[in-house]
């Protein structure tokens, strides 16, 4: 085999190796092994407010987001989207406004109103955050604060969820 053919084969193998490593980088977290695929996971959280005011909704939502981010070691670029809901008795502010104030300016965010089921927890803000991560779903830490700890006692981890 001529040296030209060997050189061309080496170049093709090098280019294939480079292309493969580039395609894997899109699925691996920075610093993680290139073979660790990223998956879309959901993280739940909820909190309550004492009154329907803009300040109360923003403060409670910011606290909830901060705790979810800290408990799960998230960076804003990990967040694919976030869906916020409020009970029908809250209408002074969109919870997503708190996320925007915290720097989630490129993250798609939506707000919804929960179904008004009689006798259910009042003045409640819920969130479902979709994240791209190499972690398993079972590793996601769900955060429930204030009176919302009663919603999912099976998911409340007292070591990471202040009351």
Tell me the average pLDDT across 157-162: 46
Tell me the average pLDDT across 55-79: 96
Q: What are phi and psi of 155, to 5 degrees?
A: -105, -10
Tell me the average pLDDT across 19-36: 50
Q: Architecture of 39-150 per CATH?
A: 2-Layer Sandwich (3.30)
Tokens for 124, please give them.
């409640």
Query: Residues spanned by CATH 3.30.1330.40 within the chain?
Result: 39-150
Higher pLDDT: 160 or 134? It is: 134
**DSSP states along 135-163:** S-GGGPPPEE-GGGGGT-TTT--TTT---
The average confidence (pLDDT) of the chain is 85
What's the DSSP call for residue 121? P
Model-level pTM?
Answer: 0.74
Distance of CA 24 to the CA centre of its chain: 22
């Amino acid at each position: 085999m001529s040296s030209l053919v060997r050189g061309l084969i080496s170049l093709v193998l090098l280019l294939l190796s480079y292309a493969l490593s580039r395609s894997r980088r899109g699925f691996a977290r920075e610093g993680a092994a290139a073979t660790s695929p990223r998956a879309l996971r959901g993280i739940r959280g909820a909190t309550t407010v004492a009154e329907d005011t803009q300040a109360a909704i923003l403060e409670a939502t910011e606290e909830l987001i901060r705790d979810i981010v800290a408990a799960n070691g998230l960076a804003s670029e990990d967040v694919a989207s976030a869906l916020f809901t409020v009970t029908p008795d809250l209408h002074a502010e969109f919870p997503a406004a708190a996320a925007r104030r915290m720097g989630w300016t490129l993250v798609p965010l939506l707000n919804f109103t929960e179904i008004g089921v009689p006798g259910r927890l009042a003045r409640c803000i819920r969130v479902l955050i979709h994240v791209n991560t190499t972690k398993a779903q079972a590793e996601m830490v769900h955060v429930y604060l204030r009176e919302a700890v009663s919603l999912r006692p099976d998911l409340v981890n007292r070591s990471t969820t202040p009351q």
